[in-house]
């Protein structure tokens, strides 16, 4: 396979994983993904930026055919989808030095067994001359691990950002062509990977904004020829300002909880509040994570199973707590057969969510009129809370 030219001195040499459908045995990949690696040919030194998932290392090597020497392998991030082929690259180019952040060094030793003699650590802001080109290393922690950094090619104004700004999208497009498609994939990626670190993401954004970036070349998904597309999107997603939206993840076993959910969706719609419901028995959890990026309120809908919430609702609540979205309000609605502790158990699962807990609505068996009126009251409280918070 041929490497693809980005500029006269910069080439894409990564691999597209069209068929992968699960990442980290956790994250759905409806559109596959890519592991981007880049070759930079300076007048004196040649550099490989990141590698690829070991499963596709032969693709990388086929694109490196004819390359006589690699002097540096920049490892922006130690996770194996980017670093996993570095030991093989070192086998092919044994004189290469692996350039990484200080925190990355031990991770590469522990996770990949790379010898210390092969590693060269760089501090935040360090530059490295390739002759006619210069690399500048920018620490961008927690996008996605604590050791992550980005690499800026000064003369070409290209930012190699690794996971930061990435999208899980398999495409033959080297550059973004369908902005709406990439926006969706990048939002999914942000929601699943970056959202827990919103305040740090904002600091990293400021750092990157201080550079003159002409191209963003992430290590997942296509290259951004217009960096403002993804930088503006990140500024919106990572802000503390939610939108006038309610997310309702729910399960229904015999229809009672679904009746409550349907009534709440109707009532919220009448109140002018946007709402999205997710039946957790069939939903793609990535879609739920994306909805949580913007929502002001979450309402969990659950029947009672063995006194507690349905396990699928338990799992989704744990996930929402881990992702730390910018939610301001929360409630629980649901049903039970003869006794329940579902509300108490769900409430205990969300210590990370700095939310005001709104009234809950729980019915025994089918919802009665009084409980449907409580649902309508909940909808009006949500709207009032949104207005009072400056959201609606
Ligand atoms: Fe794409 Fe955190 O690895």
Last residue of a domain, one of 184, 218, 237: 237
Element (H, E) at 6: none
Last residue of a domain, one of 237, 271, 294: 237
Q: How many domains does the chain have?
A: 2
Inside any domain, residue 220:
yes
Residue closest to 298 by CA, chosen among 332, 258, 273: 332
Inside any domain, residue 390:
no
| CA 62 vs CA 2, 15, 56, 220, 223: distances in Å | 7, 10, 10, 19, 21
Report pLDDT for 392: 86
Using the mean position of ligand 1's atoms as its centre, give its distance from the Cα of residue 164 in Å.
Answer: 9
Using the mean position of ligand 1's atoms as its centre, give its distance from the Cα of residue 68 in Å.
Answer: 28
Inside any domain, residue 180:
yes
292: which 2 tokens? 């949580």
> Are 185 and 298 in a shared domain?
no
Report pLDDT for 24: 87
Strands 46-49 and 72-74: parallel
Inside any domain, residue 389:
no
Distance CA 104, CA 366 (A): 56
Using the mean position of ligand 1's atoms as its centre, give its distance from the Cα of residue 26 in Å.
Answer: 13
Q: Which residues contact 287 (CB under 8 A, 6 or more apart)?
A: 188, 278
- Ligand 1 atom at shortest distance from the alpha carbon of 145: 2
> Are 358 and 287 in a shared domain?
yes
For residue 154, what are the domain limits?
4-237
Q: Are 47 and 80 in contact (CB under 8 A)?
A: no
Ligand 1 contacts CB of residue 77 (under 6 A): yes
> Are 222 and 283 in a shared domain?
no
User: At residue 373, what are phi and psi to the nearest 5 degrees?
Assistant: -65, -35
Distance CA 239, CA 235 (A): 6
Q: Ligand 1: which residue has its CA nearest to atom 3? A: 79
Report pLDDT for 354: 93
Report pLDDT for 210: 94
Report pLDDT for 173: 97
Question: The CATH number of the domain where 318 resides is what?
Answer: 3.40.50.360
Ligand 1 contacts CB of residue 81 (under 6 A): yes
Provide the whole-model pTM.
0.95
> Are 155 and 273 in a shared domain?
no
For helices 285-294 and 179-189, the axis angle rounded to 10 degrees is: 90
User: Could you please report the per-residue DSSP string of 264-318?
Assistant: HHHHHHHTT-EEEEEETTT--HHHHHHHHHHEEEEEEEEEEETTEE-HHHHHHHH
Using the mean position of ligand 1's atoms as its centre, give its distance from the Cα of residue 81 in Å.
Answer: 6
Ligand 1 contacts CB of residue 20 (under 6 A): no
> Are 219 and 329 in a shared domain?
no
Beta bridge mates, 218? 162
Beta bridge mates, 303? 335
Report pLDDT for 25: 86
Inside any domain, residue 82:
yes
Ligand 1 contacts CB of residue 50 (under 6 A): no
Last residue of a domain, one of 220, 237, 254: 237
Distance CA 66, CA 62 (A): 9
Helix/strand/coil (H/E/C) assignment for every residue in 197-231? HHHHHHHHHHHHHCCCCCEEEECCCCEECCHHHHH
Distance separating the N- and C-terminal Cα atoms of the chain: 52
Report pLDDT for 184: 96
- Ligand 1 atom at shortest distance from the alpha carbon of 220: 1
Using the mean position of ligand 1's atoms as its centre, give its distance from the Cα of residue 331 in Å.
Answer: 33
Using the mean position of ligand 1's atoms as its centre, give its distance from the Cα of residue 82 in Å.
Answer: 7
Question: The CATH number of the domain where 151 resides is what?
Answer: 3.60.15.10
Q: Ligand 1: which residue has its CA nearest to atom 1? A: 163
Ligand 1 contacts CB of residue 198 (under 6 A): no
> Are 277 and 181 in a shared domain?
no
Ligand 1 contacts CB of residue 168 (under 6 A): no
pLDDT tens, per residue, the chain with 392 residues: 889 999 999 999 999 999 999 988 888 999 999 999 999 999 999 999 999 999 999 999 999 999 999 999 999 999 999 999 999 999 999 999 999 999 999 999 999 999 999 999 999 999 999 999 999 999 999 999 999 999 999 999 999 999 999 999 999 999 999 999 999 999 999 999 999 999 999 999 999 999 999 999 999 999 999 999 999 999 999 999 999 999 999 999 999 999 999 999 999 999 999 999 999 999 999 999 999 999 999 999 999 999 999 999 999 999 999 999 999 999 999 999 999 999 999 999 999 999 999 999 999 999 999 999 999 999 999 999 999 999 98
């Amino acid at each position: 396979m041929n490497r693809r030219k980005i500029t006269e001195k910069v080439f894409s040499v990564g691999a597209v994983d069209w068929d992968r459908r699960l990442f980290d045995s956790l994250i759905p990949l409806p559109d596959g993904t890519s592991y981007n690696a880049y070759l930079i040919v300076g007048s004196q030194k040649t550099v490989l930026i990141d590698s690829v998932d070991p499963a596709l290392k032969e693709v990388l090597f086929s694109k490196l055919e004819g390359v006589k020497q690699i002097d540096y392998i920049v490892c922006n991030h130690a996770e194996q989808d980017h670093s996993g082929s570095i030991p093989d690259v070192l086998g092919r180019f044994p004189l290469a030095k692996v350039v990484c952040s200080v925190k990355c060094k031990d991770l590469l030793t522990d996770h990949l067994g790379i010898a210390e003699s092969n590693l060269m650590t760089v501090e935040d802001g360090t530059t490295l001359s390739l002759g006619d080109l210069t690399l500048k290393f920018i620490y961008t922690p927690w996008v996605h691990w604590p050791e992550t950094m980005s690499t800026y090619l000064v003369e070409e104004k290209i930012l190699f950002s690794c996971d930061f700004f990435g999208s899980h999208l398999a495409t033959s497009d080297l550059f973004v062509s369908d902005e709406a498609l990439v926006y969706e994939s990048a939002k999914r990626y942000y929601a699943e990977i970056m959202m827990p670190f919103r305040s740090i993401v904002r600091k990293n954004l400021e750092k990157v904004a201080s550079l003159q970036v002409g191209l963003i070349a992430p290590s997942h998904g296509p290259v951004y020829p217009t960096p403002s597309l993804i930088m503006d999107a990140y500024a919106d997603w990572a802000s503390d300002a939610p939108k006038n939206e309610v997310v309702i993840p729910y399960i229904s076993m015999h229809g009672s909880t679904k009746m409550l959910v349907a009534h709440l969706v109707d009532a919220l719609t009448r109140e002018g509040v946007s709402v999205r419901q997710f039946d957790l028995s069939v939903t793609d959890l990535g879609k739920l994570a994306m909805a949580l990026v913007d929502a002001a309120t979450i309402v969990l809908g659950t029947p009672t199973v063995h006194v507690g919430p349905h396990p699928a609702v338990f799992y989704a609540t744990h996930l929402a707590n881990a992702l730390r979205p910018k939610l301001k309000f929360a409630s629980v609605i649901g049903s039970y057969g003869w006794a329940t502790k579902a509300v108490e158990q769900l409430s205990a699962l969300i210590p990370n969510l700095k939310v005001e807990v709104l009234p809950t609505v729980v019915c025994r068996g089918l919802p009665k009129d009084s409980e449907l009126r409580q649902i309508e009251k909940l909808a009006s409280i949500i709207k009032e809370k949104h207005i009072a918070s400056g959201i609606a």
